[in-house]
């Protein structure tokens, strides 16, 4: 039973994930990337330890309110610092494993929420 029609322009969605790779719009990506409904930013940093506000510059024009960080190793000391800096910009940072970040991103993006994900396959 269809409850409502959701008419959204084409957005970036995650089709699947496997160890070391994530499928976006039918294409497998093996290097870290940023994804938002209208942005796919590849050729990015190599590890969560390198995260800072400067490496997120591509996101600011989109004004995300939720930022998902999906990585196998989620205990980088820079994450705590980044969380405080993002909070000052009124952006929530949620840290989770890659699979959870992929699923959560898809749900929020399809609900037209201001979301982006930093994914480290």
pLDDT in tens, 53-79: 999 999 999 999 999 999 987 777 788
**Cβ 106 vs Cβ 79: under 8 Å:** no
Question: Mean pLDDT, to the nearest integer, of 23-48?
Answer: 94
Paired tokens of 86: 């993002």
Alpha-carbon gap, residue 12 to 24, rounded angstroms: 7
Q: Give the per-residue pLDDT at 8.
A: 53
DSSP helix/strand/coil, 72: coil
What is the residue extent of each domain of the chain? 14-119
Q: Give the per-residue pLDDT at 108.
A: 98
What are 84-91's contacts with CB under 8 Å, separation 24+? 85/52, 85/53, 86/53, 90/65, 91/64, 91/65, 91/66, 91/67
Residue 106 phi, psi dihedral angles, 5° rounding: -60, -45
The number of angstroms, rounded, from the C-alpha of 108 to the middle of its chain's C-alpha atoms is 11
Q: Which fold has domain 14-119?
A: Hypothetical Protein Mth938; Chain: A, (3.40.1230)
């Amino acid at each position: 039973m269809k409850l409502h029609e959701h008419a959204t322009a084409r957005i970036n969605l995650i089709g699947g994930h496997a160890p070391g790779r994530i499928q976006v719009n039918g294409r497998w990506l093996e290097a870290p990337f940023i994804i938002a409904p209208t942005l796919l930013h590849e050729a990015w940093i190599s590890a969560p330890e390198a995260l800072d506000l400067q490496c997120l510059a591509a996101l600011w024009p989109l004004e995300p309110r939720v930022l998902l960080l999906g990585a196998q190793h989620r205990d980088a000391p820079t994450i705590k610092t980044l969380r405080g800096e993002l909070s000052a910009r009124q952006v929530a940072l949620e840290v989770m494993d890659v699979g959870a970040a992929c699923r959560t991103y898809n749900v929020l993006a399809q609900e037209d929420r201001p979301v982006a994900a930093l994914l480290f396959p």
